[in-house]
Structure formats: C-alpha cells, structure tokens
C-alpha cells in the first residue's frame, strides 16, 4: 500500500507509546490491499471464521461463523466470499447489508496461526456474502491457547438470552475465560475507515468482572498496530465475544470502552501495557449454539509472564508492606555460573509480592556468625506478579551463607522492593548498558522487561549491552543473552572476557572478545552520539566508566548507576536534592572513631562523608530502605534527602539519606 494503512487514532496511539516512526515502514510492508496466496489457502480450509460488524444502531458486535471447511473462499486476491455460517440468534443476524464495513479473522488454535482481512460488503444474496478487501495482514501467534475441537450436534433450537447486564452465569464464564474476541470500528476518518475484529488471550482470570455492568482487561505487548485501541480512541463502542468451550455457548457483550493509561491497578498487573475498562450496554447469550466442543487448552508460552486479577489484587495489598520484613520461601535454586546462583522467592505469609520495576532491589536479613546481617540484592528478573528472583555471587560471608543454606523450602526474611536505578520509560534515545561481574543482574532484569515474547520490544531503539566477565564459566546468563540477541535485532551484545578467549557465534548481534572494558575500547564500539548510560559492577569499574564518560562530555544526568555497600560512585556534578546548601560548614564528629569532618554540602550524605574519612559504616542498599547504615545521633539534628522506608529505633538516623539539618551548629554521631 502506498499510503499509510493506519488511521488517525492508530497513529495517535503509536505516537504516545513512541513507535510511530518505526511503524511507518513496518505497517506499509505488513498491511496489504490484497490477500497473498498463503492467506487465501488458509481461509479456504477453515470451518470457523470470526467477524466484526455494526448493527443498524451502529453497535459493533463480534461473532463466529460456523460451516463446513471451504465456506470461506477467495475468488481472487481482492475478494472474500462467505457462504453462510451465521447461527440462529446471533446479534448480527439480519444486520449485514451491502456497503457495510466488516472485519474478518481466521484462526486455528492448534497451530496458533491467524490472519486478518477487512473490507466492505459488496453483495449479499442466497449464495452468501461477497467482501471487497481493503486490508489484509497476518498476526503473530501470541497469546493463542492450543485447543482441539470436536464436532457435536448443536442444540436443535438454541436458547437465546438477552439482557442489559451480565447474569451470574455470564460472570462465571468471563471470570474463567482465557480468550475473547473484540470488534471495534473507525468511523471518524475516511483513511482506514472500517471495522476490525481481534483476538485477546491470557491466563484464566485475566478479565476482571468488576460488577454486572463492568469488565476490565489488560492490553499486553502486541504488534504495535494498535488497531483496537486506535479505533476505541475515536469510537469507544465495541463488541466482545466469549466462548464457552465446554458447553458450546456464545456470549456476546456490547460495551463502551475506556483506555486506562496509568494507575495502581495497571502497575500491579504483570505484563499489562494499558487496561481497557468495558461498560456493558447489552448482553446476548446463545446457549448451546455451537456444533463444536474443545479440549482443555495448552496455554500459549507468552501468558506465563502475564498476570491475572487475583494476583494483581495481592500485589496491590502488598504495596503497603514494602517497609516491613516479611517471610519468603525459596521455591527454586538455579546455577547461573560457576559462582552465581539464582534464588526464586515466594511470599510465605499468604500475601502477594509488591510490584517492582526492573533494576530495583530487595534486602535480606540473614543470621551469620550469630548476628543478623542485612544485604541488598537486585531483583534479576522482570515482574511476574507471583515471585521474586535474586542472583547472588558467592563473595563473602553473607553470600556464602545464602549459597550454603538456601535450598527449596527454606525460609528467608525480605524487605522491599525499592531503589531508583530503573530504565527511563518513554525515552527515544539509544541505551547503553555497561556492567561487569555480578553487575549483570539489573541489566538482565531490564532486558527481560524490555524484550518480550520472542521478538517484541518495549524500547524500539538500539540497546547496546557491554558486559565484562572473567571467563565463560563465570559469565552468568550467557545463554539467556544469546537468546535475547537472536530474537531482537535492536539489541547488540558484546562480552569481554578478561581471563579467557573469545567465543564464536553465528548470532550477528552477539559477539565476544578477550580483554577488559575500558574507555578506549568503548570508544571503538560506539559513535558517542546521544545515549543514555546505565552502569553496574565493582566500585572501581563504575568509577572508571563514570569518569571516562564525563570526560567525553556525557551529561551527568545521562549516566545512571546502582551500587550497594561501599561501592558508591563519586559524581563530579551536584546530586539532585531539595536540601539547601549550608551557609557555613557544619562540624561532624564521629565519637567512637575519634574522627572529625566538615560537611559543606558537597557530600551527598553523612554516609559518604564518613566513608571519605575512613570511618567504618555498615551499609547495603544506600537508598533508605534496608536500615543497615543506622547510627546513633548523639547531638545535633538531621534531615533527609529522600523518603525512607526503614524503621528506626529512637535516637538513630539513616546515614545514607541524612544530612545536617538547616541551621545545625554541629553533629555528633556514635560511630
């Protein structure tokens, strides 16, 4: 097609989510005004065909036509012929007419193959309906449940139930549904004018029955065409079809839809990009009308990483518990490398997991050497609404204890999540992820969150991931990185092995080499245009990378990093804080160590001031969440640069987030 196949509503959604430029070429290539031969053959083999159309009042309805294979045919590449197939009691019965728009969808559950065709009804007679094709395109097999259908006699006279609200039986069907179809229309613009019918799939429980008049459903990552949402933007009326695969009922629901772009419910639902809320206008249930029954489904692989509303509700409840220590059970332990193990953790208190953003961390409290130790670990996977994963390198007493003691069934205390080392949403700049050693954990979480479902990406701009490891045996997530690179062309991976040789690979955007990551090598890999940089790794590595990037005039705000314990990076630009600089330096006395210092506002916190003077301070998360840096305040007053979640005993302060209060003459700390 020479012109864009997308209408104004679709383009507006693409613009909002940042994919309009990328879809300009993909849309023209993927959407045709004729049916390719493989689609024509596919349609001709179907005993089922889904359509969407408007009734005389302008209400879209989604339905399924049923007949012997061959009832859908294609006399030529621009003509689709449908010979009957509409069941008695269908809300579109008697509503179709010449000149009306219609959307068609062919789908085979056992192969998860589907193709779409939209057009205008050119003629209707006793032989059937002839459709002049305006758009034809295929869809990937995402979210389609594998079911085997078996012919059965249909009810002699199907019972048709009509109502203005959902009955208890209707609500029960929708609550356990893993599939539905939605018809929508674009009537506002001439370009792309028409009706569309689309498939939606998820785990049973992904559609919420709010009440007898309201439903809510997530929108997962799709093909970025945004046909349905683009239609709803200008014409919010839609038609839903739910199928009772066990009893042969078809449940048609006429609705008015609204798009939900943000909010706690959206954040709590794993995998959801947006929510659609449906307000019921009319319900038609065709009882026992279908001459098929279906086997139990084999779930689509993509739905494993998506949520259901029961889990989302538990996530919302758990959001209030992020500052409390909670018991978790180890459900699995996975060896990621010679020195790294992943621990999968699920709540042991009957509550859910709080939502997190890839890059954030949790804190663990463990008994080591007859003392309670707190350590923070990055969550090494994207959210799934059910569990957390941390990946820990054996390196010290606490990590050694975790490796030696945590097995499936073990209990551990956990606090969080928290932290602000996260990927900037909505940016259109290329991203550069730089890590070394166990610093790979936030990067793999970010990549798992951005790159989904085999080939889909939430960041449709280049992502460069450079990682340093000692050798292949100590390189965690190596196979996962290769899989991601093979499926996503916008990801470019380069691994540097400081103590080993490069590995050959037939993946074009995955390579390795011998050596270390330093600034000279990095300059040979990048043109140093306009990037966002993310750093994580040993202290010396991050400081070297930060200083090198700043020497190349990379803005401080474009360099993000995460560090636990004493591995904080010294910035050469003032930290963003709402705390005013003191009018005069404030003396700070560390009573136990006998050290003294002056705080003039250049240090980011009292913790950094203490570290600069060599005063030993226990620390972990460095963001006010875990409480491990708590110290006694002997005299003076402090204020905080951030909202902290850790609970403190009377007379204690969090060193990582505290600075002398305005007007303080002096501070004395019991360190």
Burial class (CB in 10 A: 0-12, 13-18, 19+), 277: middle
Residue 437: predicted pLDDT? 95
**Least confident segment among 469-478, 621-630, 633-642:** 621-630
Helix ranges restricted to H, 460-535: 478-487, 519-525
Q: Is the peptide bond before 417 cis (omega within 30 degrees of 0)?
A: yes
293 and 407 together in one domain: no
Q: Would 179 be classed as within a structural domain?
A: yes
State the Cα–Cα distance between residues 165 and 210, nearest whole angstrom: 12
Residue 642 sits in a domain whose CATH number is 3.10.20.30
When pLDDT is cut at 50, 70 and 90, the band that residue 580 belongs to is low
Of 249, 284, 307, the residue that ends a domain is 307
Residue 571: predicted pLDDT? 78
Strands lying side by side in the sheet with 361-368:
371-378, 361-368, 411-418, 326-335, 340-347, 388-393
| 29 compared with 69, residue with greater pLDDT | 69
| 647 compared with 317, residue with greater pLDDT | 317
521 and 378 together in one domain: no
144 and 242 together in one domain: yes
Domain count across the chain: 4
Q: Would 576 be classed as within a structural domain?
A: no
545 and 610 together in one domain: no
pLDDT at 575 over 60: no
pLDDT at 1 over 60: no
pLDDT per position as a tens digit, 513-546? 999 999 999 999 998 878 999 999 998 999 999 9
**Strand ranges in 571-643 using DSSP code E only, listed in sequence order:** 586-590, 595-599, 630-635, 638-640
Q: Would 547 be classed as within a structural domain?
A: yes
Q: Would 509 be classed as within a structural domain?
A: yes
Residue 565: predicted pLDDT? 60
Residue 113: predicted pLDDT? 96
Give the residue-averaged pLDDT of 195-199. Answer: 97
Q: Would 570 be classed as within a structural domain?
A: no
Q: Would 574 be classed as within a structural domain?
A: no
Q: What are the backbone angles phi and psi of residue 341, rounded to the nearest 5°?
A: -125, 145
Task: Give the predicted TM-score (pTM) of the model.
Answer: 0.85
351 and 292 together in one domain: no
State the Cα–Cα distance between residues 347 and 412, nearest whole angstrom: 10
Residue 450 sits in a domain whose CATH number is 3.40.50.80
Give the residue-averaged pLDDT of 84-99. Answer: 95
Domain that holds residue 94: 8-307
When pLDDT is cut at 50, 70 and 90, the band that residue 188 belongs to is confident
22 and 44 together in one domain: yes
Q: Provide CB contacts within 8 A for 48, sequence distance 6+.
A: 64, 65, 66, 107, 149, 292
Residue 26: predicted pLDDT? 63
Give the residue-averaged pLDDT of 163-181. Answer: 98
pLDDT per position as a tens digit, 93-142? 999 999 999 999 999 999 999 999 999 999 999 999 999 999 999 988 99
Strands lying side by side in the sheet with 586-590:
595-599, 586-590, 667-669, 630-635, 652-654
324 and 248 together in one domain: no
376 and 462 together in one domain: no
Query: 10 Å Cβ neighbour count for 461?
Result: 17
pLDDT at 582 over 70: no
Three-class DSSP category at 278: strand
pLDDT at 558 over 70: yes
State the Cα–Cα distance between residues 548 and 542, nearest whole angstrom: 10
Residue 383 sits in a domain whose CATH number is 2.40.30.10
Residue listed under structure tokens 């758009």: 135
User: Residue 161 pairs with which residues in a beta bridge?
Assistant: 285
Q: Would 190 be classed as within a structural domain?
A: yes
Q: What is the DSSP string of 438-469?
A: GGHHHHHHHHHHHEETTTEES--S-EEEEEEE
State the Cα–Cα distance between residues 84 and 86, nearest whole angstrom: 6
**Least confident segment among 26-30, 326-330, 341-345, 359-363:** 26-30
Of 392, 418, 444, the residue that ends a domain is 418
Closest CA to 62 of 3, 104, 14: 104
437 and 408 together in one domain: no
410 and 443 together in one domain: no
293 and 389 together in one domain: no
pLDDT at 576 over 70: no
**Least confident segment among 436-445, 518-527, 562-571:** 562-571
Query: 10 Å Cβ neighbour count for 48?
Result: 20
pLDDT at 189 over 90: no
State the Cα–Cα distance between residues 359 and 30, nearest whole angstrom: 35
pLDDT per position as a tens digit, 629-656? 889 999 999 999 887 877 788 889 999 8
Residue 568: predicted pLDDT? 67
Widest CA span of the chain, in angstroms? 99
When pLDDT is cut at 50, 70 and 90, the band that residue 664 belongs to is confident
Of 260, 285, 307, the residue that ends a domain is 307
Residue 228 sits in a domain whose CATH number is 2.30.110.10
For the chain, give me the number of helices (H) and strands (E)? 13, 38
State the Cα–Cα distance between residues 93 and 169, nearest whole angstrom: 24
Q: Would 573 be classed as within a structural domain?
A: no
403 and 534 together in one domain: no
Closest CA to 26 of 337, 340, 490: 490
């Amino acid at each position: 097609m020479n012109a864009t196949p997308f209408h104004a509503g679709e383009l507006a959604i693409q613009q909002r989510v940042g994919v309009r430029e990328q879809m300009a070429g993909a849309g023209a290539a993927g959407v045709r005004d004729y049916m390719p031969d493989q689609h024509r053959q596919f349609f001709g083999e179907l005993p089922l065909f889904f359509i969407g159309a408007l009734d005389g009042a302008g209400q879209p309805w989604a339905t399924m036509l049923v007949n012997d294979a061959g009832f859908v045919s294609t006399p030529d590449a621009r003509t689709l012929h449908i010979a009957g197939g509409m069941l008695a009691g269908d809300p579109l019965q008697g509503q179709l007419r010449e000149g009306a728009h219609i959307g068609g969808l062919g789908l085979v559950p056992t192969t998860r193959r589907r193709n779409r065709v939209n057009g205008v009804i050119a003629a209707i007679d006793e032989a059937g309906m002839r459709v002049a094709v305006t758009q034809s395109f295929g869809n990937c097999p995402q979210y389609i449940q594998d079911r085997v259908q078996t012919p059965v006699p249909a009810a002699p006279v199907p019972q048709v139930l009509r109502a203005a609200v959902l009955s208890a039986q209707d609500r029960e069907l929708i609550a356990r549904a893993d599939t539905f179809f939605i018809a929508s229309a674009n009537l506002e613009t001439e370009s792309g004018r028409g009706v569309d019918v689309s498939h939606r799939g998820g785990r049973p429980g992904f559609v919420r029955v709010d009440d007898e008049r309201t439903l809510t459903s997530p929108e997962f990552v799709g093909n970025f065409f945004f046909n349905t949402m683009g239609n709803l933007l200008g014409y919010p009326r839609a038609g839903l079809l739910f199928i009772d695969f066990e009893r042969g009922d078809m449940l048609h629901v006429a609705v008015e839809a609204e798009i939900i772009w943000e909010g706690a419910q959206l954040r709590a639902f794993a995998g959801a990009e947006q929510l659609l809320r449906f307000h019921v206008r009319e319900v038609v249930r065709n009882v026992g009308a279908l001459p098929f029954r279906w086997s139990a489904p084999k779930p689509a692989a993509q739905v494993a990483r998506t949520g259901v509303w029961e889990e989302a509700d538990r996530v919302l409840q758990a959001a209030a518990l992020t500052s409390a220590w909670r018991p978790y059970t180890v459900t699995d332990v996975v060896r990621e490398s010679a020195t790294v193990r992943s621990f999968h953790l699920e709540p042991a208190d009957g509550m859910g997991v709080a939502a997190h953003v890839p890059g954030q961390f949790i804190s663990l409290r463990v008994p080591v050497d007859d003392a309670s130790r707190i350590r923070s670990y990055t969550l090494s996977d994207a959210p799934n609404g059910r569990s957390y994963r941390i990946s820990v390198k054996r390196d010290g007493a606490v990590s050694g204890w975790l490796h030696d003691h945590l097995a499936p069934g073990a209990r551990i205390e956990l606090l969080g999540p928290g932290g602000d080392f996260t990927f900037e949403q909505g940016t259109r700049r290329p991203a550069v992820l730089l890590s070394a050693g166990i610093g790979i954990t936030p990067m793999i979480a970010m990549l798992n969150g951005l790159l989904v479902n085999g080939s889909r990406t939430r960041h449709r701009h280049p992502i460069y991931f450079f990682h340093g490891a000692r050798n292949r045996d100590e390189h965690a997530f190596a196979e996962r990185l290769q899989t991601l690179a093979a499926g996503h062309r916008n990801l470019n991976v380069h691994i540097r092995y400081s103590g080993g040789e490069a590995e050959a690979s037939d993946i074009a955007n995955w390579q390795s080499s011998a050596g270390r990551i330093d600034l000279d090598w990095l300059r040979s890999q990048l043109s140093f245009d306009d990037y966002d940089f993310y750093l994580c790794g040993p202290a010396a590595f991050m400081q070297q990378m930060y200083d090198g990037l700043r020497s190349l005039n990379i803005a401080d705000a474009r360099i993000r990093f995460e560090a636990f314990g004493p591995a904080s990076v010294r910035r050469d630009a003032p930290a963003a804080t709402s705390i005013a600089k003191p009018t005069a330096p404030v003396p700070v006395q560390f009573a136990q160590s006998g050290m003294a210092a002056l705080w003039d506002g250049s240090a980011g916190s009292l913790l950094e001031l203490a570290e600069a003077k060599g005063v030993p301070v226990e620390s972990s998360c460095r963001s006010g969440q875990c409480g491990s840096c708590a110290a006694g305040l002997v005299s003076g007053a402090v204020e905080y640069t951030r909202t902290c979640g850790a609970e403190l005993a009377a007379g204690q302060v969090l060193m990582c987030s505290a600075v002398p209060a305005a007007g303080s003459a002096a501070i004395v700390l019991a360190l």
